[in-house]
Amino acid sequence: MVWKIASLYVATVIGAGFASGQEIVQFFARFGSSGFIGIAIAGFLLSYCGSLTLRKCVALKFADYNQLITSINKTAAPFLDLLYTTFIMLGMAVMFAGTEEALLQLLGISGGMYITAALTLLPLLVGLDKVLDLNGYLVPVMIVFMSLVSVLTIVKGKPTGVPGLVAAVPYGALYGGYNYGFALAVFAGIGQLVKDEQQAEQGGWLGGLILTVLITLAAAALLTAPPEIMNTSLPLLTLANRISPAVGTVYTLVIWIAMYTTALANAFAVTQRLHPWLSGQWWKVCVLVLAAALLIARIGFVPLIKYTYSAFGLIGLYLLYKMLRL
């Protein structure tokens, strides 16, 4: 169970921006060696605070994130619930929009977001146990290939001498905040499934540490690669293609897996929240949630990332502050 919890945590965080390397550039690598200070801050938030939150969610037996939000701030709960649900939906839409581009590049087919949505629906219909099982199989694939591309680049490259900038510190906190915010919805959802508080805490630590190691490797790889790599839209994919076209093709699939697992985690959290409120059959709520996310995804991948992630980082830090005070 510890690995299943950790893999769900990792799957929630490793989305399109993480796996492609764009998040690593924007939040860490562009600040040079100081970016590792930001990584340490983000790693603390994801590991320690993530494990503590998971333990509390199990101890308090939360069924969904609405119960968690109500316990944090009962007065503002309706507003926070609506705002949080909106951002989780936007996060899911970002993943679907990204899969459209990934499958177009990988297979040369359009309609990738609809294929991904259909594949998301299947495990949702059979429950959280199957979602955990699926993530348990897919997450190791992401970990291995992300590590492989990063390590091979580090071994072959040399430091580029990007100057250190102190701005890495707040960016590290913001990065930890928005990923914590996305993960919180999933944490609350497993509050009733997992019975052992210690297992929940260990899963949080393991997931957070895996994420920290992957971020560190990716940042180090980007800082040893030619500087122009950071200006590409998909930096880690560019590094993979530099190793060999075959590795690049496989890594495109890894990016799709990353987006798929994140979309699946977000879809489960939103469906679990809306199911009691809509008073409908589970499968109908699943279809409604996915249809709404697909509609939003038509806005496009880049615009959704631009306006969603930074704002959600502030909300995530607020929720973290309130959660630690429970």
Q: Is 280 helix (H, G, I), strand (E, B) or coil?
A: coil
Q: How far apart are CA 1 and CA 98, in angstroms?
A: 30
Is residue 42 over pLDDT 80? Answer: yes
Q: CATH code at 201?
A: 1.20.1740.10
Lowest mean pLDDT among 94-108, 264-278, 296-310: 296-310
Q: List, for residues 289-315, the tens digit of each pLDDT value.
A: 999 999 988 876 656 665 666 667 777
- In the chain, alpha helices (H): 2-13, 16-20, 22-27, 35-44, 50-59, 65-72, 77-107, 112-126, 128-156, 168-189, 197-224, 235-243, 245-278, 282-297, 301-324
Give the chain's mean pLDDT: 85
Rg of the chain taking only CA atoms, in angstroms: 19
Give residue 71's pLDDT band: very low, low, confident or very high (50, 70, 90).
Answer: confident
- Number of structural domains, the chain? 1
Contact 217, 150 (CB under 8 A): yes
Query: What is the distance between the alpha carbons of residues 239 and 247, in angstroms, rounded to a whole number?
Result: 9
Of the chain, the percentage scoring pLDDT greater than 90 comes to 24
Start-to-end CA span in the chain (Å): 25
* 3-state SS assignment for residue 167: coil
What is the model's pLDDT at position 16? Answer: 62
Looking at residue 308, what is its pLDDT?
64
The most confident of the ranges 62-66, 100-104, 281-285, 306-310 is 281-285
Instruction: Give residue 31's pLDDT band: very low, low, confident or very high (50, 70, 90).
Output: confident
Q: Quote the domain boundaries for residue 112.
A: 2-324
